[in-house]
Amino acid sequence: MNKWTELFLGLILLLGIILVAWFSSVNDWTLFGKSFDFLHPAWILLKGAIFWFVFFVGLLLIILGINDLKD
């Protein structure tokens, strides 16, 4: 694919998902009593990803420190 096409398509997808998340949280998107709020689960997933990233960076630093103690 052309680099400008990829950039433009990525921008459209990113803007589209941001708008869908915002509209679903502002408006009441319900179907058969089930809420379709996409922003709240995305925020929970992001917080979980940040937690696990920090956890594994700490684990990596401990393993590297133990490895340096052996030398």
Quick: pLDDT tens for 1-36: 788 888 888 889 888 888 888 787 777 777 777 777
Q: CA 57 → CA 13, 45, 46, 65, distances in Å? A: 30, 18, 16, 12
Quick: pLDDT tens for 27-71: 777 777 777 777 788 888 989 999 899 999 998 888 888 888 876
Phi and psi at residue 27, in whole multiples of 5°?
Answer: -90, 165
pLDDT computed for residue 68 by the predictor: 82
* CB 38 within 8 Å of CB 26: no
